[in-house]
Amino acid sequence: MKQLFSLAAGLACLAAWGTGVAAAGTLDTVRARGHLKCGINTGVVGFAAPDDKGVWRGFDVDFCRAVAAALFGDAGSVKYANLTGKTRFTALRSREIDLLSRNTTWTFSRDADLQLTFAGVNYYDGQGFMVPKALGVASARDLGGASVCIQTGTTTELNLADYFRIHRMTYKAVPIETTSEALTNYLAGRCDVYTTDASGLAATRAATDRPDAHLVLPEIISKEPLGPVVRQGDDQWADIVRWTLNALIAAEEFGVTAANVKKLAGTATNPEVRRLLGAEELQGRAALGLAPDWAVSVIAQVGNYGEIFARNLGPETPLGLARGLNDQWKNGGLMYAPPFR
């Protein structure tokens, strides 16, 4: 009996040790390195693209910056790795990056089979089709026999095959790896159609010399919940990324902005806002290794979710996207943060 107890105790200690190492691993590594390594796209206007000075900007880039601000108090403490649909998961699993923030759809197989952890959804999307207006097509049901540019290693490959099979149509796949390659092939006429997430189509259309010469067809053929991704087995790190996203969403709900966050940190009377901004203790915050004012740093330097959306994707940008499903839950959207309590 004593031997069995000792064995059981030893196994329990080993399990606890293994869990502790996994939980602390990524945070300790990032802190020791002094910056976050974040995987982003190779270039999608509005999500991740270099500006005229070579500085990477966009919706996904801003999420990387938000996590860096939560960790270091400095949104600039991040280095980017440009990844394709094929290379993104390998880079994450091999620890080349700490976080993947790259138009990535949360699916069953990626969660269970690839052993990835999605920290939430920061953009609700769906797959669509873009064609030249000169093609004379008004519906995806008219695309039988078309050649289609499609990024490899993405959910769009399977969605495309399913859609054409359901509607008993044929197509010719023209495989590409990057958005720039897709645009080059599409504009050169090597494919009749380009298919990807609707937000990506808006970005590609905006990048053409004549956006009005191209039509995004009305059909949305899939659900594409996009969000940040980390490796499984590191709950502390996953929680840091998850609650950074939740802080951005909650800040918009409560009217906390980049302009007023520092003032509200000292004057807010709403108990949840006070906990979010560190004016009152938020139980569990210390276990994540975050400073009391971590959310203040995030919002002051990057803005809330609505500010990030408007700056990169909204009506005043070349993409001109409406909030739609990505609006706050009080406005009929799906953006909803769990309580900070």
Judge whether 239 lies within some domain. Answer: yes
Residue 22 has pLDDT above 60, yes or no: no
* 248 & 110 share domain: yes
* 190 lies in the same domain as 42: no
Any idea what DSSP says for residue 136? -
Percent of the chain with pLDDT over 70: 93
Residue 222: name the closest of 286, 279, 281, 140 by CA.
140
Say how many CA atoms lie within 13 Å of 332 toward its Cβ.
3
pLDDT at residue 6 greater than cutoff 90: no
Tell whether the model's pLDDT for residue 16 goes beyond 70. no
Tens digits of residue pLDDT in 40-54: 999 999 999 999 999
C-alpha dist (Å) from residue 260 to 66, 178, 251, 254: 17, 39, 11, 11
Q: Say which amino acid occupies 294.
A: W
Asked if 50 and 162 sit in the same domain, the reply is: no
Domain that holds residue 108: 22-124+226-331
Please report which residue ranges of the chain form alpha helices under DSSP H.
2-33, 59-72, 88-93, 108-112, 155-166, 179-187, 198-206, 235-253, 261-267, 271-276, 294-302, 305-312
pLDDT grade, residue 330 (50/70/90)?
very high
Domain-ending residue, one of 174, 199, 222 = 222
**152: pLDDT confidence band, cut at 50, 70 and 90?**
confident
Let me know whether 203 and 246 are in one domain.
no
Same domain (yes/no): 213, 238: no
Residue 239 identity? D
**Among residues 222, 245, 268, which one ends one of the domains?**
222
Indicate whether 235 and 116 sit together in one domain. Answer: yes
Give bridge partners of residue 146 from the DSSP assignment.
171
Residues 77 and 147 in one domain: no
Confidence check: pLDDT of 12 > 50: no
Do 112 and 185 fall within a single domain? no
Q: For a pLDDT cut of 90, what percent of the chain falls above it?
A: 89
Instruction: Please give the full DSSP string across 14-77, using - where no structure is assigned.
Output: HHHHHHHHHHHHHHHHHHHHTSEEEEE-S-BTTTBEE-TTS-EESHHHHHHHHHHHHHHS-TT-
pLDDT level of residue 116 (50, 70, 90 thresholds): very high
If asked whether residues 192 and 282 sit together in one domain, one would say no
Q: Which helix (H) or strand (E) is 173 found in, with range? A: strand 171-176
Name 38's bridge partners.
80, 99
Query: Residue 37: is its pLDDT beyond 50?
Result: yes
Q: pTM of this prediction?
A: 0.89
Tokens of 30: 């990032």
- Give the Å distances, CA to CA, from 243 to 4, 24, 95, 128, 162: 41, 17, 21, 31, 35
pLDDT tops 60 at residue 11? no
97 with 236, same domain? yes
Confidence of residue 154 (pLDDT cuts 50, 70, 90): confident
> Which of 165, 200, 222 marks a domain boundary?
222
Question: Is 6 inside a domain boundary?
Answer: no
Tokens of 64: 């990387």
Residue bearing the bigger pLDDT, 211 or 4: 211
Q: What number is the average pLDDT over the span 22-38?
A: 87
Q: Which residue do the tokens 């007023």 mark?
A: 260
**pLDDT class for 153, splitting at 50, 70, 90?**
confident
Mean pLDDT of 158-164: 95
CATH number of the domain where residue 132 is located: 3.40.190.10
